Amino acid sequence: MHDEVIAGRYRLDGRLGGGETAEVWAATDLELDRKVAVKLLARGADPRRFRREARAVAALAHPNVATLYDYGEAGERPFMAFEYLSGGSLEERLAGGPLGDNEVERVTRDLAAGLAYAHAHGILHRDLKPANVLFDASGNAKLADFGIAQVADEAGLTSAGTVLGTASYLAPERAAGEAATPASDVYAFGVVLFRMLTGRLPFESRNALDLAAMHRDRPPPSVTNFREDAPARLESLAFAALAKSPSDRPPDGGALQAELGRTPPLRRG
């Protein structure tokens, strides 16, 4: 498909990645002469989820959420055209271990802001993980890939007992088959923050079912178990976000922002 022009407008320049449900291409918008990222639905994948992602992201216009430019079909395959984010992913940055404290602070604030905006508009991400955090050329972190996003009051395409997302970042209530809430995104945020500070996950296993059980049943380790000099504010925020019960966590992205705006660190218990 290299150099193919879809919808009479987007030239596919190089494949960036993909999976079972979609593939992502670096592309050129020939109408506006700008670089974009084109996400194409994989053949045989469910177009309803794809449309739901488009509708969810189209409702969001925020500096810390990847911007959707266009939606359409190319040869009966739905596609989305997003802003092109040249700074790579948080997963790539974490390949070398924990991030520096200043960078962790910046990324944490960006993610909290993006989640706060999405939650305020009734959108749950449900798959927050480093691979879905992308950076623009200025180093701003942006939430991307709302592929299993859900409108909070919508009777969605998945039942409460269906577990979606990545097991390493799965909230305990979702591992137990319960419905996602904004607090479920907060838990995933806590896992991401834990990894940025320590370079590792709070729970590790090669088996997804074992991981889900750990998130559901085991108390999380403290950041200070692996890094005694972690900034108290961020260590405390990770602790709060990783609470087993949703009612014991900051309830949503707005609460995360509020906690980050406080001068003293969060109290435990």
Looking at the structure, tell me whether residues 122 and 217 fall in a common domain: yes
Instruction: State residue 157's pLDDT score.
Output: 35
Q: Which residues contact 225 (CB under 8 A, 6 or more apart)?
A: none
Query: 146 or 47, which is more confident?
Result: 47
Q: For residue range 132-189, what is the model confidence (pLDDT) as tens digits?
A: 999 999 999 999 987 555 444 443 334 333 344 488 999 999 999 898 999 999 999 9
Instruction: State residue 75's pLDDT score.
Output: 81
Q: For residue range 76-86, what is the model confidence (pLDDT) as tens digits?
A: 889 999 999 99
Looking at the structure, tell me whether residues 78 and 143 fall in a common domain: no
pLDDT range class, residue 236, cuts 50, 70, 90: very high
Look at residue 263 and tell me whether its pLDDT is greater than 60. Answer: no
3-class DSSP state of 90: helix
127 among known catalytic residues:
yes
Give Cα separations from 43 to 76, 148, 201 (angstroms): 9, 18, 34
Q: What is the tally of structural domains in the chain?
A: 2
Q: For residue range 84-126, what is the model confidence (pLDDT) as tens digits?
A: 999 999 999 999 999 999 999 999 999 999 999 999 999 999 8
Residue 77 is part of which domain span?
5-83
**pLDDT mean over 13-30:** 89
* 34 token code pair: 């700008």
**pLDDT mean over 193-206:** 95
Instruction: State residue 160's pLDDT score.
Output: 37
Look at residue 269 and tell me whether its pLDDT is greater than 50. Answer: no
Domain boundary among 83, 105, 124: 83
Looking at the structure, tell me whether residues 51 and 123 fall in a common domain: no
Question: One of 110, 127, 145, 185 is an active-site residue; which one?
Answer: 127
Instruction: State residue 262's pLDDT score.
Output: 66
Looking at the structure, tell me whether residues 235 and 112 fall in a common domain: yes
Looking at the structure, tell me whether residues 116 and 219 fall in a common domain: yes
Q: For residue range 54-66, what is the model confidence (pLDDT) as tens digits?
A: 888 888 999 999 9
Looking at the domain assignment, is residue 250 inside a domain?
A: yes
Looking at the structure, tell me whether residues 34 and 138 fall in a common domain: no
Which of 33-37, 40-44, 154-158, 177-181 shows the highest mean pLDDT?
33-37
Give the number of other Cβ atoms within 10 Å of residue 175's Cβ: 19
From 17-21, 139-143, 203-207, 213-217, the region with the lowest mean pLDDT: 17-21
Give Cα separations from 184 to 71, 119, 176, 236 (angstroms): 28, 11, 12, 18
CATH number at residue 96: 1.10.510.10
Looking at the domain assignment, is residue 269 inside a domain?
A: no
Cβ atoms 6, 23 nearer than 8 A: no
CATH number at residue 28: 3.30.200.20
- Percentage of the chain beyond pLDDT 90 is 70
Looking at the domain assignment, is residue 36 inside a domain?
A: yes
| Model confidence, pTM | 0.89
Q: Rounded distance, CA 266 to CA 105, Å?
A: 15
